[in-house]
Structure 1
């Protein structure tokens, strides 16, 4: 089974001028989710307290 984007968006289209600190935090959380999924996805993510308040105020 393979999967691909129909339209591969550029980084600029995805971040759309978001502050660099926010982009860095989202990338960090995405990396955590990938590691979590690769490990079988058992239990809560360390340091993950849900989306509200999980990202720093900018």
Structure 2
């Protein structure tokens, strides 16, 4: 099993025409989600299941 996508479009294809301010906001939100996941699951290898809901 692999987590790779069957269709992996280029960054240029996905972001063409999007305003730079919007792209910066998306990148910032994605970084926030990563930090939240890291704080909730300090050891990602031990993660199993859906986990306890965040409040």
TM-score by length of 1: 0.59
TM-score by length of 2: 0.62
Which structure has the highest helix share of the two?
A: 2
Aligned residues: 43
Q: Of the two structures, which has the highest relative contact order with CA contacts closer than 8 Å and spacing of 6 or more?
A: 1
1:3 Cα deviation (Å)?
0.7
Greater Rg by CA: 2
Q: Detail structure 1 runs of 4+ shifted over 3 Å in the superposition.
A: none
Structure 1 segments unaligned to the other structure (5+ residues): 44-58
Partner of 2:44: none
